């Protein structure tokens, strides 16, 4: 157990380790993953299922996910 404790202490004392263990970074990471998956799903839905033209679908989805990303960043104070 002391070996793991030493590793965790070393990571926490490292400048880069502090950056990655920060709560804001974790929020930034999961928001980025969520928005990317939402982007893919919505583009599939708009283009393949609903048959909306690609240019219109891309514009709508990218614009919407841009706003969603900003709202989530503000909500979870990841900025």
pLDDT at 16: 67
Report the predicted TM-score, pTM, of the whole model to 2 decimal places: 0.73
User: From CA 36, how far away is CA 65, in angstroms rounded?
Assistant: 9
User: From CA 64, how far away is CA 58, in angstroms rounded?
Assistant: 10
Cβ atoms within 10 Å of 29's Cβ, excluding its own: 12
Dihedral, CA of residue 36, residue 41, residue 47 and residue 51, to nearest 10:
-150
pLDDT digits (tens, 9 = 90+) for 3-27: 877 777 777 777 766 666 777 888 8
Buried/exposed 52-64: b ≥16 CB within 10 Å, e otherwise: beeeebbeebeee
pLDDT digits (tens, 9 = 90+) for 21-79: 777 888 888 999 999 999 999 999 999 999 999 999 999 999 999 999 999 988 887 66
């Amino acid at each position: 157990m002391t070996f793991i404790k030493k590793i965790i202490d070393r990571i926490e004392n490292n400048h880069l380790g502090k950056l990655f263990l920060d709560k804001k970074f974790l929020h930034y990471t999961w928001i980025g993953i969520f928005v990317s998956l939402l982007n893919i799903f919505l583009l599939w839905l708009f283009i393949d299922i609903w048959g909306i033209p690609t240019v219109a679908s891309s514009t709508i989805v990218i614009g919407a996910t841009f706003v969603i990303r900003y709202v989530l960043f503000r909500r979870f104070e990841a900025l």
